[in-house]
């Protein structure tokens, strides 16, 4: 299957394989596809762009390229390939993100200071590891080791996560430059105007959420599948638009403390003094939005993006709604009637704000556009166990102070997505591709 | 009923009334009892002690005395007494804590800078408001207004919350002074050594938690009662002791990143460089603990106190356990077989670390000693609604980034407590009387 | 001689003795006078006021009372009285300001957290030390020890410095309280309108500045006297007034970067966002100034006060002038013709902004009103030597990053002042009683 | 004259012209030489290295290249070339350093975030401006305008300052990378061991310092020449060596508060927790020093470098010396007998720590090695006037809180240096090539 991501000039050929029944050959193909995409995403970049780090939470493109490679080297080549020679002894320290069980880490906030290794050297590092991985794929003994296959699959998903971060981080870093560089020069197409927001009703009862990971890949934080009891609820069939959010602003939304969570009010009033979403700029009377296509006139029909959980919550309160819990969200989108896979497939990694939203398609309109804040804290599912060793640090240790986001975004790869996917960020964060899904009580 | 709080020299006479069927007379008595206790708690203080503020989160005793009075003035006397004259026009600004709907607030972090009004003036303010309240209690029309009665009841609970904060804040502020003042000079009694920690099992199923507030008072955040589905779980029958926590420390607990949530690891390593609970001090080879009785040798049988959620979580992981959810905690303590009201009643507001824990009494051993961190984020219950106006700011706007604590503590009034009580603090906080309750999967 | 400080209700009886030829009796009298004044200055304070610390640079009144006592205990009683018993072992740590040679110090920024020892205990401490000092004064052997006499004299000057800080710190702390307490309820008298500022000319040549401390007391930083060569210069005969400074403000002075030193521009624009002197408030169209007499209408004829060196420098540049160097200032005021001791004596420690300035008296109009920023960095004089031991820390270690101020202020004791006095603060500081003296090139 | 800077692989051909009698041709040649050197210095850099900014005080190499070009465009081409077309309208904002009279500036701390314009575009910008400047040089009318000639000369000196900053900033940024890149791979030569430090005596008297700028270029801050009176003093004939500084460290120099200025003690103890110079590293028992040649064994005979004024002052106090004033320093090096121009010329911009110091040559041993901290605050000379307009911001507005450094360094161009040169940095700064010159009283 070929997903045309023509707006960004990328020909993506990610197979939508089911990982578990994949042969070694299929896995090798998938590996190659994912690895190649990371590099193709970088094509519009100058060498200078690879090194940007505008805040501690963002990493330079070069670092993403090296770290994802380090992941394969550290968790697959080193433990499973006997005679493996590390490419460069410094890299264990420089490109370890947060795995304390592996060792100390170069300070996260200073990744932008690593002019060396150069971009060229990082590409050579990738080539070296890819060759070693290629050998491993042809080693039948290794390929019959389930743990090896699982880790390679994990490594591919890990790299796909960083492909998404590549976009979010680059966009944030470029925004600090008054030149406002564009990833793709071609202007964004106008979105189709939306109908009024309609809500679907879900009835109370016991539901199962999460994954037992029998066939399909899932991260440990989606496991185990378990029952939850939900009350009746309504959930919005599409995301909140720029036009709707502008109405909130015009109504004084950013200046009414009654609409805001206390920590959010502190952020917008005392710390940041903000009165509009992160990438919005008012020039004269007109609003513009910085996108991967550069500064564009604000399209009122597109979903509002780069919104903190506080902003989402304040908007929801203004609209006499609330944010859904992650359980409500997952139960809703898993309802078979509403799914339309064709439509859904068109919304993933393609451009910044993607296609105009077609409100005729219901749950699918929540998928692959913008991650949606839920009101659920990022906590372990009942019965959750962290893996032994460094891999156990992948997700579990972040289960504090963050909220779950659901739905994937326009910079998420389709083959990386599933409905049980639990993304997580701090409520204050805005540099991800985040939007607003509403819920309410009947 | 009289609760003897002899260790602190306080004769408390709080009636354990059911608020809803209380006559105006009973409510007036309750009001008087609560108000009087606030002042009696201050008896060991010097004038100088009333003004301390060691961090933004703590407030001076004087401010607590004034703010609780302001609450009755603002939410009862001003709206419901026609000719009411405010005591001092400055106080609306000075003693408003966080009610934006009432108006701007004097900066929280600077409350310790208010040498004026003096302690004497604050006591006069209390006397003035008490007199006005006394008049109100004798006004039959007002006393037949359900909203007035509810607000007075809320005001009493509000003041009881601040009585607890009075202790937590004073203890923290005094600890900054190397003289280490004691609230009560008499040394702490030794606790009875505990048996090994045993766990109770609760079976999976649908349970109801929360309050519909038909008869008994509850805060809005405990409402509405609703069904939850729980998996099988085990829960510890008593709190973790100092001795058990010391074993964790000796085993390198503070230096093993695998035991810690990432944000907790950052706190203990980068920000605070800590290796023991907040009030522990090692002098030579011996450990001591600062208590309201001054610095005391560490009593291994007492429950470990003043513990952050991160420390609780790290200890639990070290012990192959986890923290309970708030639902698990409430369902367990509501089980009728385990309750022993006599035992339970003896653990509330009395001294710092209270009586030795009797492990024969099961769930009661979790009540009225130390608030226990749950793994549950402080979120709205399904169907939660905030009240209109300023009163709606009481609880709802804090439902972000905090965790629920359960169980009451030795500085909680018994008449203020109920099993559905949801206290909430940030995971990093340690100055409250917090301890560790463990849970695990079967 | 009796200086009437009637506006503050203080009867000061400080003898203007020459220390070196003072008998032990005279020194004892002087000691008693100085010590008593510290306590009399506190009369308008409530107990609550003694504990205030609004920023690290300010200390509570209670701390000043204890620290000045600690100074006599540490530097005189302990080394020179054999059987001396310290009053309280904790005080060595609690009331040491910055003498590393004596030992570690309680953190400066937390002095406001010391509710204990109480105000009463601090007064008892003072009484205890005064008694011991009284005994020492009657010990003829000690009184013949020149070092003892010198240290007592130093201790008295040290306490007089803290009397001045008592006012500056209290004023700053009270200003944080919207009630704006007054030290003296009686309103300020209007100042006599001033004539246009006239300048005196001083001719180039070699001059001697500083003190060799033969007869009169001086701090080590005023020593040794030495020759300097000065170019011709003009110096303003009186301080800049509020009215003149208001003209600067109306002319956009706070918004014109060309008038400001770079570090000053950063302070007013980025850090503090200020557009008026520290204690000025505009209510409607009118300007007011917070004084020790409470909030008062701005008196245009009084000298502008509580001005940073940056503000002084910006004003001077706006007025086509500059600040004098400390050498220029000292040479000018030492010129005998201009001195008028009667006039001069009336300007010291009396009230906040003191008497209206009489511009007929020339150099005297610079003395005892407000400390004046010079353009001179606080550096050692040629040949300066620090004393051995802890006393050597008194002045020398602060000779970095600060500027010299000259002239004394209305909260300086007359017996503490001399023309060679070098006060020193950071250019950004505003809470001292500082004003503007102008100079320019012919 | 050709200065061989072979150790860094640079052939520098800077003419040591007297600017004032230079013909337009000579000035054009000088311009070309200076401009070319900026680019040649960049030869060892990767594109990635051009973008580094490790702290707000350092700027990326790319920014230095653009800003120096912007200086010629802004102060010469725009005002003096009628039809001049700016290269890119964004650059006025992006590459303005601190000239408020020109307009707002891109935030200094974020210069490292400007991936665009690219390095290529910056070189094109340089080429464009150079061409325009070339035209100007051939315009006889402009070349007869003294102001134009002066500004071009100033622009060349400005660029030479940034050449020096290029090295200091690059070194500091690379040091953040554990790979520790080398600017020049060839190892440093060992220095010739030094004799014991000898002092020269200068007699008291009236001396003239500063420049009246009749023939030679000088910055405004060196003007006007004026008389100063100095006491007798002694000054060290060479810089303090690594070996001598190591003795200070071994003697506990970093842990003795009596040796430190208070602000310095705060820096080393509370803020930075440092116990050695910035670029020193102890591996096992051996000390190493990071240099532009990479990490090198510490050469005890080389002068100690990258030293704050606090460290210099503490060392001086330990050695029973003090730092010289800037007047003492200038008077000493201007003494004709001690000058040896051949020796002196060999110490400038060549390599990191330069040639071994030859102690036979007296004052020359202070020149062109490392800037030396003086004890003099950076203040205006008597009679100093700032220029009108933006050029007036060049030096004057920084005359607060900084100290004067003298002597030039191994990364200063010889044609840029003169004995009256007043460099200035904050006492805490260490990333410049700074060393220690000692003085003392007879």
pLDDT at A337: 56
Q: Testing the interface with D: which of A49, A114, A115 to mutate, by most D Cβ within 10 A?
A: A115
pLDDT at A356: 36
B and D interact (at least 3 Cβ pairs within 8 A): no
pLDDT at D35: 96
Please give the mean pLDDT across all residues of chain D. 89
Q: What is the pLDDT of residues D193-250, one digit of tens each?
A: 778 999 999 999 999 999 986 667 999 999 999 999 999 999 999 999 999 999 999 9
Q: Testing the interface with A: which of D115, D175, D294 to mutate, by most A Cβ within 10 A?
A: D115
Contact (CB<8Å) D177/A113 = yes
pLDDT at D191: 80
On the question of pLDDT at C354 being above 80, the answer is no
Residues of C with CB under 8 A from a CB of B: 46-52, 54, 62, 90, 93-94, 106, 110, 112-119, 173-174, 176-179, 181
Given C206, C382, C400, which is nearest D264 (Cβ)?
Answer: C400
Look up tokens 């230079």; give the residue: D22
Q: What is the mean pLDDT of residues A192-217?
A: 89
On chain A, the residues whose CB falls within 8 A of the CB of D179 are 90, 94, 116-117
pLDDT at B262: 96
Q: C–D: how many Cβ contacts below 8 A?
A: 88
Given C106, C118, C176, which is nearest B46 (Cβ)?
Answer: C118
Residue C8's pLDDT band (boundaries 50, 70, 90)? very low
Contact (CB<8Å) A115/D48 = yes
pLDDT at C309: 98
Q: Is A386 helix (H, G, I), strand (E, B) or coil?
A: coil
**What chain D residue is nearest to C225 in terms of C-alpha separation?**
D231
Contact (CB<8Å) A401/B322 = no
Residue D3's pLDDT band (boundaries 50, 70, 90)? very low
On the question of pLDDT at A15 being above 80, the answer is no
**What chain A residue is nearest to D52 in terms of C-alpha separation?**
A113
The H-assigned helical ranges of A73-109 are 78-80, 91-94
Residues of A with CB under 8 A from a CB of B: 98, 100-101, 206, 226-231, 233, 257-258, 260-265, 309-310, 313, 322, 375-377, 379-380, 382-383, 392-393, 397-401, 427, 441
d(CA A370, nearest CA chain B) in Å:
22
On chain B, the residues whose CB falls within 8 A of the CB of C177 are 113-116
Please give the mean pLDDT across all residues of chain C. 89
Contact (CB<8Å) A375/B375 = no
Q: What is the mean pLDDT of residues A243-270?
A: 97
Residue that wins the pLDDT comparison between A16 and A138: A138
Q: What is the pLDDT of residues C183-200, one digit of tens each?
A: 988 777 787 777 899 999
Q: What is the mean pLDDT of residues D337-345?
A: 44
Q: What is the pLDDT of residues A328-350, one digit of tens each?
A: 999 999 987 544 443 444 455 64
Full set of structural domains in chain C with CATH: 17-175 (1.20.120), 199-440 (3.90.1580.10)
Radius of gyration of chain D from Cα atoms?
22
d(CA B61, nearest CA chain C) in Å:
12
Q: Which ipTM score applies to this complex?
A: 0.91
Contact (CB<8Å) B264/A400 = yes
Q: What is the pLDDT of residues C208-223, one digit of tens each?
A: 999 986 667 999 999 9
Q: Testing the interface with A: which of B308, B321, B401, B428 to mutate, by most A Cβ within 10 A?
A: B401
Residue that wins the pLDDT comparison between D414 and D254: D254
On chain B, the residues whose CB falls within 8 A of the CB of C173 are 113, 115
d(CA D310, nearest CA chain C) in Å:
9
Contact (CB<8Å) D377/C377 = yes
Show which subunits contact D, needing at least 3 CB pairs below 8 angstroms: A, C
Given C265, C309, C400, which is nearest D261 (Cβ)?
Answer: C400
On the question of pLDDT at C432 being above 80, the answer is yes
Contact (CB<8Å) C382/D322 = no
Q: What is the DSSP string of B31-64?
A: HHHHHHHHHHHTTT--GGGGG--SSTT---HHHH
Given C113, C116, C177, which is nearest B113 (Cβ)?
Answer: C177
pLDDT at D363: 57
- HSE at residue C410, side-chain half, CA atoms within 13 A, is 25
pLDDT at A1: 28
Contact (CB<8Å) A113/D176 = yes
pLDDT at C195: 85
Q: Testing the interface with D: which of C311, C328, C382 to mutate, by most D Cβ within 10 A?
A: C382
On the question of pLDDT at A17 being above 70, the answer is no
Distance of CA D300 to the CA centre of its chain: 24
Residue A20's pLDDT band (boundaries 50, 70, 90)? very low
Q: What is the pLDDT of residues B237-265, one digit of tens each?
A: 999 999 999 999 999 999 999 999 999 99
Contact (CB<8Å) C46/B118 = yes
C and A interact (at least 3 Cβ pairs within 8 A): no
Q: What is the mean pLDDT of residues A78-106?
A: 96
pLDDT at D414: 86
pLDDT at D351: 40
Q: What is the mean pLDDT of residues A217-241?
A: 96
Q: What is the mean pLDDT of residues A23-43?
A: 93
Q: What is the pLDDT of residues D102-143, one digit of tens each?
A: 999 999 999 999 999 999 999 999 999 999 999 999 999 999
Contact (CB<8Å) A226/B231 = yes
pLDDT at A354: 37
Helix/strand/coil (H/E/C) assignment for every residue in chain D:
CCEEEHHHCEEECCCCCCHHHCCHHHHHHHHHHHHHHHHHCCCCCCHHHHHCCCCCCCCCHHHHHHHHHHHHHHHHHHHHCCCCCCCCCCHHHHCCCCCCCCCCCCCHHHHHHCCCCCHHHHHHHHHHHHHHHHHHHCCHHHHCCHHHHHHHHHHHHHHHHHHHHHHHHHHHHHHCCCCCCCCCCCCCCCCCCCCCCCEEEECCEEEEECCCCCCCCCCHHHCCCEEEEECCEEEECCCCEHHHHHHHHHCCHHHCHHHCCHHHHHHHHHHCCCCCCCCEEEECCEEEEEECCEEEECCCCCECCCCCHHHHHHHHHHCCCECCCHHHHHHHHCCHHHCCHHHHHCCCCCCCCCCCCCCCCCHHHHCCECEEEEEEECCCCCCCCCCCCHHHHCCHHHCCCEEEEECCECCCCHHHCCCCCCEEEECCCCCCCEECCCEECC
pLDDT at B24: 87
On the question of pLDDT at C99 being above 90, the answer is yes
On the question of pLDDT at A165 being above 90, the answer is yes
Residues of D with CB under 8 A from a CB of A: 46-52, 54, 62, 90, 93-94, 106, 110, 112-119, 173-174, 176-179, 181
Show which subunits contact B, needing at least 3 CB pairs below 8 angstroms: A, C
Query: Which residues of chain B fall short of a pLDDT of 70?
Result: 1-22, 213-215, 337-364
On chain D, the residues whose CB falls within 8 A of the CB of C313 are 400
Q: Which of the 8 DSSP states describes residue C117?
A: S
Contact (CB<8Å) C262/D400 = yes
Structure tokens, D256 = 């003795």
């Amino acid at each position: 299957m070929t997903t045309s991501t023509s707006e960004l000039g990328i020909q993506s050929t990610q197979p939508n394989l089911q990982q578990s029944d994949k042969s070694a050959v299929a896995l090798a193909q998938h590996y190659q596809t994912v690895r190649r995409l990371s590099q193709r995403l970088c094509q519009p970049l100058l060498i200078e762009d690879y090194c940007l780090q505008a805040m501690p939470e963002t990493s330079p493109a070069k670092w993403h390229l090296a770290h994802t490679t380090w992941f394969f080297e550290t968790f697959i080549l080193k433990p499973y390939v006997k005679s493996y020679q590390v490419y460069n002894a410094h890299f264990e320290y420089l490109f370890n993100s947060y795995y304390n069980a592996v060792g100390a880490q170069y300070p996260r906030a200073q990744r932008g200071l690593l002019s060396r290794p150069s971009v060229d050297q990082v590409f050579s590092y990738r080539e070296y590891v890819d060759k070693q991985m290629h050998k491993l794929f042809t080693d039948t003994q290794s390929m019959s080791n389930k743990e090896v296959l699982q880790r390679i699959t994990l490594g591919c998903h890990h790299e796909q996560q960083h492909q998404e971060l590549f976009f979010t981080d680059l966009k944030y870093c470029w925004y600090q430059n008054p030149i406002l560089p564009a990833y793709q020069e071609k202007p964004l197409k106008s979105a189709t105007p939306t109908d009024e927001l309609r809500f679907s009703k879900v009835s109370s009862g016991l539901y199962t959420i999460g994954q037992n990971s029998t066939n399909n890949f899932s991260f440990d934080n989606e496991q185990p599948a378990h029952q939850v009891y939900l009350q009746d609820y309504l959930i919005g069939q599409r995301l909140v638009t720029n036009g709707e959010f502008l109405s909130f602003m015009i109504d004084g939304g950013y200046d009414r403390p009654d609409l805001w969570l206390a920590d959010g009010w502190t952020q917008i009033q005392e710390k940041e003094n903000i009165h509009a979403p992160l990438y919005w700029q008012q020039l004269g009377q007109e609003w513009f939005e910085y996108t991967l296509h550069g500064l564009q006139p604000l399209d009122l029909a597109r979903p509002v993006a780069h919104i903190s959980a506080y902003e989402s919550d304040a908007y929801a309160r203004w609209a006499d709604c609330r944010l859904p819990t992650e359980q409500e969200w997952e139960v809703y989108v898993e309802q078979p009637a509403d799914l339309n896979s064709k439509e859904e497939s068109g919304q993933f990694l393609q451009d910044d704000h993607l296609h105009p939203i077609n409100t005729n398609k219901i749950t699918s309109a929540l998928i692959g556009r913008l991650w949606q804040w839920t009101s659920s804290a990022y906590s372990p599912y009942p019965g959750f166990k962290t893996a032994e060793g460094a891999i156990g640090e992948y997700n579990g240790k972040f289960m504090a102070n963050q909220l779950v986001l659901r739905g994937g975004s326009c910079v998420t790869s389709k083959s990386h997505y599933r409905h049980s996917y639990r993304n997580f960020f701090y409520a204050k964060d805005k540099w991800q591709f985040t939007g607003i899904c509403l819920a309410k009580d009947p």
